[in-house]
Amino acid sequence: MVVVVAGILLRLDGLTSSLWLDEFGTFWVVEGDFATMLERAWVFQGQSPLYYAFPWMSRQVFGDSELALRLPSLLFGCLSVIAVYSSARAIGGSTAGLYAAALFWLSVPAVQYTVDARPYSLVMFTVAVALAGFSYAVRFGTRRARLVWIVGGAAVAWSHYLHYPLVLGVYVAYAVLPALRSRYPMRRFAVDGMAQFALVSLCAPQILALMARRGTLSWISDFNYAVLLEPIWPLLIGVLVGVAQLARRGDATIEGALRRALLVCAAVQLSVIAGASLVGMNLLSGRYVTSALIPAVVFVATPLARARAESIIATVAVFVVATGAVFAATKESRGSFSGNGYQDWRTAVDDLNARIANDGKTLVLFRSGFVEEDLVPLGNPPPAVFAPLRSPGRPPFAAAVVPLNFRWAHPLRDAYFDKVIAPKVDEASVFFVIGARGDATVGNYMTKVVEWVRSRWPGRHRVRRVPYGGVELIEFLPTLSTEAIPADKVR
């Protein structure tokens, strides 16, 4: 009960706060009718519409709000607990299932993604279902278990293509572990595998299209391989305990083979993401390895069911201290345990609306933070880029905006600013800039905008900067303006 309540409290914090950038992408996709949702999911998100169908339905039922968009992820998080329990129970019994469910429910990625209007909670659920189905198929060979394995594995690809390598890890494990083949005959496994691949192949056209434009979707500048451990490092002591136990017992038992298969699945997912960076596709982000959390918690939980007290205490203590430290740091730096609300677009846009007083002629420069703002030619991003200007339940933004770009260091940015932005600033006595602050190449993009204005029009403007977490609203006023400006707002 303590674990359940703690997990609920962690998720309630910030649950109804402003959407952040990627969640606005979801909001834009599900804004229209069902056919529009299907089209936008294919075109903008580069994923199948499976996930987006759920927030679309939630919005139809519960109305236009942040909570309605996040409810499906919360539901999948709860269902993931059941699927994780089932997967661990198939391998190590009901006590192992309870350990796995508790570790998952309180893990940092599970908390963050189950209150995030993005597909990663669905990814974790489908991975857990696929692994549970495979484990039961190996144990008992029933048609129902095999069907769960087939559909669950395919659903991982439908949820997010980049997590299907973890499912391919099951095939690698089956090839190298004889104990699995002895319980799951090769002919059955081959038939089931072909059925799963047939379902996955329905997404093939979109996967090929995504690969063709992978260069335009590259948004990660740093090659930080430490993110590969992001979902699992609090579990490392438990992983070591499990590996030591396997080494003592060997792999003759089916339980040992299934536990080794879990390690293989996690290793394949991490290896594919790491390997992609070596061929020009930098996918080194925690979101692309979060699926590894599922086999990790199941692997750690199974030996705990029969481990000695000191091993259990060490595993649980390290997990609690590590995850507690991350939650405390996230709360301190971002305002909530999940990080929701740090990009407070809702308040920033409300403030801007109040300042321009619905004057559609006021110059507003806008940077969403979507990488699509760097599509050439600059200044013509897709419509989804403007989604942060309207939060759920709010009216459309009153003024037209002039888009900035994503990377300050973009080779065409200088020319774009000179040709498009500068003439508009020349004509404006007062203008605003609103946008996401982060830029991996320079730090704070908005500071660079202020420096650019001051260097091009020295002494002409006085600046008022108001941060809203990861979003900033900047007002440029004439230096000689008699308007009273609070001293703490002038920079």
Say what the pLDDT of residue 53 is.
96
Same domain, 289 and 328: yes
Q: Is residue 339 part of a domain?
A: no
Say what the pLDDT of residue 223 is.
84
Asked if 180 contacts 141 with a C-beta cutoff of 8 angstroms, the reply is no
**CA dist., res. 449 & res. 188, Å (int):** 61
Say what the pLDDT of residue 251 is.
54
The residues that bridge with 472 in the sheet, in sequence order, are 435, 467
Same domain, 349 and 319: no
- Residue 139 phi/psi, 5-degree rounding, is -70, -45
pLDDT tens per residue across all 491 residues of the chain = 999 999 999 999 999 999 999 999 999 999 999 999 998 988 887 778 999 999 999 999 999 999 999 999 999 999 999 999 999 999 999 999 999 999 999 999 999 999 999 999 999 999 999 999 999 999 999 999 999 999 999 999 999 999 999 999 999 999 999 999 999 999 999 999 999 999 999 887 767 766 665 555 556 777 888 999 999 999 999 999 999 888 886 656 899 999 999 999 999 999 999 998 887 788 888 999 999 999 999 999 999 988 889 989 999 999 999 999 999 999 999 999 999 999 999 999 999 999 998 676 899 999 999 999 998 899 999 999 999 999 999 998 988 899 999 999 999 999 999 999 999 999 998 999 999 999 988 999 999 999 999 999 999 999 999 999 999 999 999 986 444 445 454 44
Same domain, 263 and 401: no
Same domain, 129 and 239: yes
Same domain, 139 and 256: yes
Domain boundary (304, 334, 364) is at 334
Total structural domains within the chain: 2
Say what the pLDDT of residue 248 is.
80
In the block, tokens 């048609």 appear at 143
* Token pair belonging to 237: 């002591």
Same domain, 394 and 319: no
- Strand pairing class (363-367; 402-403): parallel
For the entire predicted model, the pTM comes to 0.93
Domain boundary (269, 299, 334) is at 334
Per the structure, the complete domain to which residue 418 belongs is given by: 345-489
Query: For the CA atoms of the chain, what is the radius of gyration?
Result: 25
Same domain, 90 and 115: yes
Q: Which residues contact 405 (CB under 8 A, 6 or more apart)?
A: 367, 373, 374, 378, 379, 413, 416
* Exposed e or buried b per residue across 22-50, where buried means at least 16 C-beta atoms within 10 angstroms of its C-beta: bbbbbbbbbbeeeeebbebbbebbbbbbb
Same domain, 369 and 417: yes
- Give alpha helix (H) positions in 305-409: 309-334, 345-356
Same domain, 321 and 369: no
